[in-house]
Structure 1
Amino acid sequence: MIEALAGPQAGGVDDLTASDLLALARDRKAAEDRAAADLLVVAARWADLHPPESIHDAAAFAVPGCEHEEPIAGQGAPLVAEFCLAELGAVLGVSTTAAKKLVGHALELRHRLPRLWGQVQAGRVPAWRARSVAEVTIHTSPTLTVEAAAFVDAQVAAVAGRVGPAQLDRLVAETIKRFHLADVDPTQDPEDGYLHVDPRHATIHSDDVHYAGTMRLEAELDIADALDLDRALAHGAETLKALGSDASLGVRRSAALGDLARTQTALDLHTQGATGIRDADGLPAAREVVLHAHFDATLDGLTTVFGPTGRMEEGQRLVLLDQLRSWCGDSRTRVTIKPVIDLNADLSTPAYEVPDRIREQVILRDRTCVFPWCTRPARGCDIDHVDEYDHHADAEGRPQPGPTRTSNLAALCRFHHRLKTHTAWRYQMTEPGTFEWTSPHGHHYRRDRHGTTAVDQAEPPCPPDIPRPRRP
């Protein structure tokens, strides 16, 4: 009975006993783990089908920017033709980068961590745990050799993958010493070997934005640096309190950290008496940080419990109007207000180069790279002619098939621009800001301002042995 239930829609879950619900939860979790293990097999097999030799023009042409072999796992794992990753990511509903990571983990496990791979396929180790180990062994510095990776594999497999991040770091450090992968100071205490895996970092979690307009910072600092930072934050918090702030200590310390980010880089110049642009207090201007915030001119747009809300291009996150007002009120903030751009206007130019006014319009319309599930900000993307611009059309008296106009331009990151130019991926703009993509295997996707949607089932693919004509 439990196996037949697909969820609340089946109409029987509400009638299950506590024991039945626990059994159902266990079965569903086991099915999820099995599916994740199977997905690793699929990813590895997908890589097998797309070795560097599968690149049609690899032996015939040297096309700048064309497809090349992609090392995505450690030493000893096979290479993969890079453009195949986009098709896999699209059908999984993830970015090409996420697909690259999935295939890399699968190859790392199958070829360099075979014991752990076997335990995943036997259901003794969940796929997510094995992938966390593969992520470390792929990116360890110095690089782990095949023998060193095998040592890590044996140690991790012996405990069925149950190692935490700190234990894994120590194991990798021990492996680096054991296989002489890095020069080690002979006077160093062997117990301090884990220091070869430097834990220091400062990470801004830009994907974890609170609706209050805050973002989480996580850091691991040198002891001296940490103590100095603590004193600086304590001093900044007390300064804000003396200036009349009635915020809590935590809020004032947070604000003090922001003040450090805006002004600390200029203090050395100030104490050395350097010349340059200075504010009224005599300090050099802080390092400039450019943010692009967009608010409805009537302020009738999205409103949260925290107040009127706009959109910031950086990270595609929300920003509160009150925050913007506070930034503008800072004497060290330079504010530039640009004129409103009509995103529905079809701007054009007879030239191939895209002028700034059209580029800005496309950036604001598309927001990100328009390839399915890609989230790279449009401001750092190329502006692509959807229909290719013909540089000889005017000279030969033919109409231009790919004019430089808003209705024929789209933002594509460099990788997906190359993908569109040199593979059978095709797309068209069905309306301003809405694009329909067709993959080499016949899958269709619609990308608009709300994201990406898989449109329908795949059509039969084109014969694989007939290469698409390519430009020399």
Structure 2
Amino acid sequence: MIETLGGPGTEVDDDLTPAGLLASIRSARAAEDAAAARQLDLAARWADLHPPESIHSAATFTNGRGIGMEVEEPIAGDGCPTVAEFCVAELGTVLGISTVSAKRLIGHALELRHRLPRLWAQVQSGRVPAWRARSVAEATIHATPSLTPEAAAWVDAQVAAVTGRIGPAQLDRLVAETIKRHELAADDPATDPEDGYLSVDPRHATLHDQDVHYAGTMHLEADLDIADALDVDRVLTHGAELRKALGSTESLDARRAQALGDLARTQTALDLHSQGQTATRCTQDGLPVAREVVLHAHFDARSVDDGQTVFTPTGRLEEGQRLVMLDQVRAWCGDSRTKVTVKPVIDLNALLEAPGYEIPDRIREQVLLRDRTCVFPWCSRPSRGCDVDHVIEYDHDADTEDRPQPGPTVTPNLGALCRFHHRLKTHTAWHYDVIGPGEFVWTSPHGHRYRRDPTGTTALDPPGIPRPPRP
């Protein structure tokens, strides 16, 4: 019997000896590495075909730690060519990845080819797997402070010699240490101290609110002054011990996490109370509401024989698109100083419409709940941060010229688009059609077609096959 191992064209006899099977696995991995190296090369060539002036401005990453703090960063380091922002989306959809992932692929390819040439040569010769080289490129692209071409070349020389001979964790440490050594060596006291690595302030406290675990947790990371960090650790240890003394059977880690939440809520409440400020929202103890977290949880409900409404035990949390348990929501709401707001139920199947171009809140909310994310192929940006777009463009002159409105403000003609893909649809040859409630078919400038619905993205017929005429 013959079976496939490693993809089409790689046939393996299932009667192989253990040694033969290992040889076949090694061969399949070599073919996979060669394909990944080829993909990097093709991504770089795609970038070469699309300089910014050919379509639009240069592609960038939007980075920041909060609203009002976002900055645009190039997709590759200083010395690499820039790339037209809108060309990235078509590459991503062909590969079945998001636009952000496609930016990362192109950025890594350009970083390796132009700033890390030794590593690039090793990837293309098969001596270093593409994924290892890409991890180095990711570090050099986003190093703080930014690496000059000379600094990147120095890192390349130090790292390329051993990249293929050490493990991933060792490689990550080596890259980080190499970047630091170069910056410290360049930190000449005779020069402006603000130019040195040691002048960079690494302190921050960042809540990753887009990464919500199914257990109802978020990841918080911080870099603090040593004294502050030790104080926080001492307070968390004390809070964990106090909870244990009061009968908690949770693990130490769980109790420390709870102590951090207690610290935030109690301190906020006590500060406001001690300052004699008038609380606009108070509980029975006279303290202001300390917990006011906005979460959008959705549960299916059904009516039983006695007329009561019964909710399913599991639902969906919009924040992070994750599973949430009904018991968790009950626990969050059970705190006496938690503000709870219940919004009216919205029928996602109802057809809502409005005169004019402006989209009322009730229609906007229905579209955001229906689509859940941006409806561009493979995009996963939550709909709460998206624009609501008229699929068929609204004609502002139709009423004055007594013509039928081709793009009315009605839910079937609306879709959630993140700002980037909204601009992409407006300024390029990308377009999409509605084929059902919350279901769209997108067509790329080169004729690739994709179906996007609440379950995800499906690639349709390849270019060259006629598509149905637009309604």
- Aligning the two structures, in what range does the TM-score lie when normalised by the shorter sequence? 0.7 to 0.9
- The DSSP-based 3-state class of the residue aligned with 2:254 is helix
1:55-77 per-residue CA deviation (whole Å, 9 max, x = no partner) reads: 2xxxxxxxxxxx31233211111
CA gap of 1:427–1:37, structure 2 versus 1, over 3 A, is: same
Query: What is the aligned partner in structure 1 of residue 298 from structure 2?
Result: 294
- Distance, in Å, in 1 between the alignment partners of 2:403 and 2:28 is 62
Matched, 1:73 2:76: yes
Contact 2:3 2:11 in 1 (8 A): no
- The DSSP-based 3-state class of the residue aligned with 1:415 is helix
Query: What is the aligned partner in structure 1 of residue 238 from structure 2?
Result: 235
Matches within 5 A, 1:194-343: 211-215=214-218, 221-277=224-280, 278-286=282-290, 288-298=292-302, 308-343=313-348
CA gap of 1:416–1:17, structure 2 versus 1, over 3 A, is: same
Write the letter of the residue equivalent to 2:295.
L
TM-score, scaled to structure 2: 0.84
Bigger RCO of structures 1 and 2 (CA < 8 A, at least 6 apart): 1
Write the letter of the residue equivalent to 2:47.
A
Write the letter of the residue equivalent to 1:322.
D
Matched, 1:435 2:440: yes
- The DSSP-based 3-state class of the residue aligned with 1:298 is strand
Contact 1:142 1:181 in 2 (8 A): no
1:143-188 per-residue CA deviation (whole Å, 9 max, x = no partner) reads: 21111111111111222364533332221122223445999898xx
- Distance, in Å, in 2 between the alignment partners of 1:395 and 1:299 is 48
- Distance, in Å, in 1 between the alignment partners of 2:155 and 2:2 is 40
Matched, 1:391 2:396: yes
Query: What is the aligned partner in structure 1 of residue 128 from structure 2?
Result: 125
Query: What is the aligned partner in structure 2 of residue 464 from structure 1?
Result: none
Matched residues, number: 438
Query: What is the aligned partner in structure 1 of residue 68 from structure 2?
Result: none
- Distance, in Å, in 2 between the alignment partners of 1:199 and 1:15 is 57
Question: Which residue, out of 167, 170, 195, partners 2:177?
Answer: 170
For residue 249 of structure 1, report the CA deviation from its aligned partner.
3.4
For residue 9 of structure 1, report the CA deviation from its aligned partner.
12
Write the letter of the residue equivalent to 1:377.
P
- Distance, in Å, in 2 between the alignment partners of 1:267 and 1:38 is 60
- The DSSP-based 3-state class of the residue aligned with 2:239 is helix
- Distance, in Å, in 1 between the alignment partners of 2:35 and 2:265 is 48
- Distance, in Å, in 2 between the alignment partners of 1:182 and 1:359 is 57
- The DSSP-based 3-state class of the residue aligned with 1:124 is coil
Write the letter of the residue equivalent to 2:283.
D
- Distance, in Å, in 1 between the alignment partners of 2:264 and 2:446 is 48
- The DSSP-based 3-state class of the residue aligned with 1:365 is helix
Query: What is the aligned partner in structure 1 of residue 25 from structure 2?
Result: 25
Write the letter of the residue equivalent to 2:335.
D
Write the letter of the residue equivalent to 1:445.
Y
Of 23-32 and 247-256, more deviation after overlay is shown by: 247-256
What is the percentage of aligned positions where both structures have the same residue? 70
- The DSSP-based 3-state class of the residue aligned with 1:428 is strand
Query: What is the aligned partner in structure 2 of residue 189 from structure 1?
Result: none
Matched, 1:139 2:142: yes
Write the letter of the residue equivalent to 2:238.
H
For residue 247 of structure 1, report the CA deviation from its aligned partner.
3.1
- The DSSP-based 3-state class of the residue aligned with 2:460 is strand
For residue 226 of structure 1, report the CA deviation from its aligned partner.
3.0
For residue 194 of structure 1, report the CA deviation from its aligned partner.
7.7
- Distance, in Å, in 2 between the alignment partners of 1:314 and 1:79 is 33
Name stretches of at least 5 consecutive residues in structure 1 with no aligned partner.
56-66, 187-192, 301-306, 462-472
For residue 436 of structure 1, report the CA deviation from its aligned partner.
0.6
Contact 1:265 1:287 in 2 (8 A): no
CA gap of 1:179–1:263, structure 2 versus 1, over 3 A, is: same
Cα RMSD between the aligned structures?
3.1
Contact 2:6 2:28 in 1 (8 A): no
Matched, 1:416 2:408: no
Of 138-147 and 390-399, more deviation after overlay is shown by: 138-147
Query: What is the aligned partner in structure 2 of residue 426 from structure 1?
Result: 431
Contact 1:90 1:372 in 2 (8 A): yes
For residue 198 of structure 1, report the CA deviation from its aligned partner.
6.6
For residue 296 of structure 1, report the CA deviation from its aligned partner.
0.9
- The DSSP-based 3-state class of the residue aligned with 1:228 is helix
Contact 1:441 1:459 in 2 (8 A): no
CA gap of 1:224–1:82, structure 2 versus 1, over 3 A, is: same
